[in-house]
Structure 1
Amino acid sequence: MPDPDELQHFQDILRDLFQFDVADLDFGVYRILNEKRDDIERFIEEDLVEGVCEELRAYEEGQTEALRKEVKEEKQTVQETLSEYAIQSDGTVKEKYRDLKAAQDYREARERLEAAELSEET
């Protein structure tokens, strides 16, 4: 979900763009805007927010899936270059391998994935 203050600011900009503050004008485009005011307001308050939230969720899910793939690849690299048993059952790297680059890359990828999954939950 977008930051509520940023969302409110964006909605205010849209209201200014659609010139809701000039309701007394009743000619040309202003007449059309006045007639469609309820539709435009519903779009700004509801439809736009729902659409943005859906797209952000889809983007985050795509990012998380990419991070899962990266973790899997880094795990495979650790197992191929260090040892098949370098990664413990809980996903952590055994102590004797932790300072090696492949193990550090794997750990960093896991941390990014955990952070992304945590942000999806909140």
Structure 2
Amino acid sequence: MATLNTKNTPQSQSSQEAQNSHRKQANSQSDAVDDRPAPMEVLRQARAQLAELTGFASESVSSFEQTEDGWALDVEVLELPRVPDTMSLMASYRVDLDPRGQLTGYRRVRRYERGRADTRRPGGR
């Protein structure tokens, strides 16, 4: 039967403290990742916050991406209903959110009639 030598030296204590510190840091980083909202929750929050600020209900989200600073979305809204509906004025808003999904800014980037095709080519050509 073998015996273990388990002396509690300053070096072994220092090594244990370093391992414990590393584990705590790894756990806090995984907790931070878990604190982020799911993408669908970010979409819901963005639409609700934009509607509250502008008074316009969003009809769709045409672009959605995660950025270095959080999230960026393009949200299509009905700004002015008209008859027939194809003549209604629509707008595209660029919405910026922080990593937790809180709106940090928005701006209208385009206004158009619902029934009109986009004449701009992709890539701005």
TM-score, with length taken from structure 2: 0.38
Identify the structure with bigger relative contact order (alpha carbons < 8 Å, sequence gap 6+).
1
- Greater fraction of residues in strand: 2
TM-score, structure 1 as length reference: 0.39
- Between Structure 1 and Structure 2, the one with more helix by share is 1
